[in-house]
Amino acid sequence: MAEEVTLLDFWPSPFGMRAKIALREKGVHFDLREEELLSNKSPLLLQMNPIHKKIPVLIHNGKPVCESHIIVQYIDETWGPESPLLPSDPHERAHARFWADYVDKKIFPSGLAVWRSTGEDQEAAKKEFIEGLKVMEGELRDKAYFGGERFGFLDVSLIPFYSWFYAVETLTDCTIGDECSKLMGWAKRCMQRETVAESLPDQHKVYDFMSEVRKKLQAQ
């Protein structure tokens, strides 16, 4: 029986990008359904993720998997054992998961705060955001990818945010590139992978989207 794989997505979402990268890394063919997230969530999304009502949702043969890191791990366990995203050693696996959790708990919220805030709050948010990225650089050290020579789970977790950097820098006068040159080198290396380049939207398109939403938020 042919497999049915559908991804409910919203193009600027870094969480959706994680799922797309992982599916493409494993060579899985999938049907991409774009949600009208801001105005009109589909009945399928509400049915498949009734708890959080958020994308991404991976639907594999009718069964939903929610939450991007859980989706990436599901993809890793289900397809392409010859090209694993997580390491085989349990401690190294736990280590990769710890840092992916750091991305969600630290990098994403502080990046969002930079974009949303103004004035003094924004300066404080920028400081926290850059500090978090520097901590990630410390974990990267001189490796090609976070796990070593192979592109893996933590790279999938963090690289989607690179598509937001131009918008954050331009809208808020924040200099990520100058502050975190090692991380930029890693990001450019990741972008050379077809699976990543195909999954991240154009940074100018993200800029247009983020600047529109920011204007609406500031008008409220």
Ligand X SMILES: N[C@@H](CCC(=O)N[C@@H](CS)C(=O)NCC(=O)O)C(=O)O
Least distance to ligand X, CB of residue 65, Å = 10
The reply to whether 10 sits near ligand X by the rule CB under 6 A is: yes
Q: Which is nearer to ligand X, 67 or 76 (CB)?
A: 67
Tokens 């598509």 correspond to 163
3-class DSSP state for residue 54?
coil
The reply to whether 68 sits near ligand X by the rule CB under 6 A is: yes
Q: Which is nearer to ligand X, 48 or 196 (CB)?
A: 48
Among 27, 50, 53, 127, binds ligand X (CB under 6 A): 53
Q: Which is nearer to ligand X, 56 or 111 (CB)?
A: 56
Contacts of 19 (CB under 8 A, 6+ apart): 7, 9, 56, 58, 68, 71, 72, 75
Among the candidate windows 50-58, 85-93, 156-164, 203-211, which touches ligand X by CB under 6 A? 50-58
The reply to whether 9 sits near ligand X by the rule CB under 6 A is: no
Cα–Cα distance for residue pair 142/120, rounded to 1 Å: 34
Residue 59: strand pairing partners: 6, 64
Cα–Cα distance for residue pair 15/191, rounded to 1 Å: 17
3-class DSSP state for residue 9?
strand
Contact 74, 23 (CB under 8 A): no
Among 7, 37, 75, 130, binds ligand X (CB under 6 A): 37
Q: Which is nearer to ligand X, 31 or 101 (CB)?
A: 101
- Name the strand (E) or helix (H) holding 34: strand 31-34
Give the binding site for ligand X (CB under 6 A). Answer: 10, 13, 15, 37, 53-56, 67-69
